[in-house]
Chains A and B, each alone.
Chain A
Amino acid sequence: MLEIDIASKVYQTAAGPPLLAIRGLRFAIAEGEFACLVGPSGCGKTTCLRILLGLERDYDGRIALPGGDPRIGVAFQEPRLLPWRTVEENVRLAQPVALRERPLDDLFARLGLAGFKHFYPGELSLGLARRAALARAFAVEPRLLLLDEPFVSLDEATASDLRALLVDVWQARPTTALMVTHNLREAVQLADRIFVLSARPGRVLGEYPVMIERGRRSPDAVRAISVDLATRFPGLA
């Protein structure tokens, strides 16, 4: 179970008044569930992930992670690969020592990285770098997966390829997952449950379970659900 109950999170800005990013953000995700946070930009989605990652400690509220102190696989908004280490080294370095001997070939093959193990991040396209970041997130065999718009600024064809790869890898080992996105259709395609956030200060406006099995979410079905979702939460569009 992943539980989040953040009463408030305030950012001190360098010049000007403090910024209230989150007020009363409360939701929970069941074990093994894939949830998405959607909402307008600046509504505190990324802040919420940073709190879960332990990168923001100055907030008012409490969180409970599955298993207490779980191993977390994360994909940040930008790939954040160490530029001076190869793709394989980047993945290996993130792994706990016990996992470093296990072959990565299957994971790399699934993500279409097979020929790129020895490339440096600077030699990869953005799409490939994002795949490598996903490979790293999965290679640690996480108990919790946190994804911060991992497909942003990719062209639609590449993004949809990567979404399919994500589903494929995730289904091989279902993990409690929380993905932040502002792309409704992406959320509908991937999630078991969607939480809709308000504009800043962020709080949950409502949740929307996606009932259809992932395998049967055709483009038409995704479009229909997205329209339904958008009519229920007019702020989303």
Chain B
Amino acid sequence: MRSGFPILWSASSLLGLLALWWILALQADPRVFPAPPAVLDALLREAASGDLARHLGITLARVAAAFALAMSIGTAIGMALGMNRGLDRLFDPWVVLFLNLPALVVIVLAYVWFGLNEAAAIGAVAVNKIPNVVVTLREGARALDRAYSELAQVYRFSFASRMRDVVLPQLQPYLAAASRSGIALIWKIVLVVELLGRSNGVGFQIHLHFQLFDVATILAYALAFVAVMLLVEVLLLRPYDRHATRWRQPNA
């Protein structure tokens, strides 16, 4: 965002969406499709009771744990497969299999096999995301420039320096792509995990209010969490991206 105008555009575009919602809600049954003030009321009520912060926090912690797990394991596997053709040939069918395994199946099996506990929940989410990370990072590892590996070999870079100074900077665009698509996918799956087998978190609250047919509160939780994820994007992912690509020419 080079000037203030794009923010203005985004703001007025969102205001337009809000207006559309309001207009449509006026025609509908407020229990099925509540207008913005009703959702705001629900939001304030949940916030005042402390429930909102508690459930948002728990869900966010699960997202963070699953994200860290999926990124680190997926990156390691992806790099190994991208750098070693034999391993890739051996395990590519596994990757394709896991890539196409429905999230719901993984979650249900994890709960059946490992019990309704936190480890099973987070593990199930991570397993859903790992194949995506593997595929993206495998492409990145295949594209590593041999010229830089040779340089590192001749000047005897340590293993840590090879990773930090040679390999990871080349993988950065792939890591950025995997983490962007990852964080969106993961939080959606976390809600399903919570709905199926946890007694707290945004997913649990949505399930609860679905049974009470309280659409306003469902929307309040959903919007609050979307807002949290937007903040993560703006405050964490984008600044990190800018920092990691500071060496690139602005127009290159």
Contact = CB atoms under 8 A, between A and B. Distances in A.
Contact of B147 (A71, A76, A136): A76
A85 B165 contact: yes
Given A83-B247, A120-B247, A122-B248, A54 B153 contact: yes
Contacts of A85: 165, 169, 247
Contacts of A71: 156
Interface in A114-128: 120-123
A82 B166 contact: yes
Interface string B157-194: 10001000110010010000000000000000000000
A97 to B, nearest CB: 9
Interface string B223-252: 000000000000000000000000111001
A53 to B, nearest CB: 5
Give the dominant DSSP class at A's interface.
Answer: loop
Give the dominant DSSP class at B's interface.
Answer: helix
Contacts of B113: none
Nearest to A71: B156
A187 interface: no
B249 A123 contact: yes
B248 A93 contact: no
Contact of A122 (B148, B157, B252): B252
A96 interface: yes
Contacts of B249: 122-123
Interface residues of A, number: 23
Given A54-B154, A82-B166, A82-B169, A93 B147 contact: no
Given A82-B165, A85-B165, A120-B247, A96 B148 contact: no
Contact of B155 (A83, A89, A94): A94
B24 interface: no
B61 interface: no
A96 B158 CA distance: 10
Nearest to B165: A93
Contacts of A96: 156
B29 interface: no
Contacts of A94: 151, 155, 157
B153 A55 contact: yes
A140 B156 CA distance: 11
Interface in A160-181: none
Contacts of B172: 84
A134 to B, nearest CB: 14
Contacts of A123: 249
Nearest to A123: B249
B155 A93 contact: yes
Contact of A53 (B154, B247, B248): B154
Given A55-B150, A76-B147, A93-B165, A84 B247 contact: yes
A140 B155 contact: yes
A143 to B, nearest CB: 13
Interface string A30-61: 00000000000000000000000111000000
Contacts of B156: 71, 96
A72 B154 contact: yes
Contacts of B147: 76, 78, 80
A74 interface: yes
A124 to B, nearest CB: 11
Contacts of B157: 93-94
A122 B247 contact: yes
Contacts of B153: 54-55
Contacts of A54: 153-154
B155 A84 contact: no
Interface in A77-135: 78, 80, 82-85, 89, 93-94, 96, 120-123
A80 B148 contact: yes
B152 to A, nearest CB: 9
Contacts of A84: 169, 172, 247
Nearest to A53: B154
Contacts of B155: 74, 93-94, 136, 140
Given A84-B172, A93-B155, A120-B247, 4 more contacts: A55-B154, A80-B147, A82-B166, A85-B169
Interface of B: 147-148, 150-151, 153-157, 161, 165-166, 169, 172, 247-249, 252
3 smallest beta-carbon distances between A and B, as pairs: A94-B155, A84-B169, A120-B247
7 contacts: A54-B154, A74-B155, A80-B148, A80-B151, A82-B148, A82-B151, A82-B169
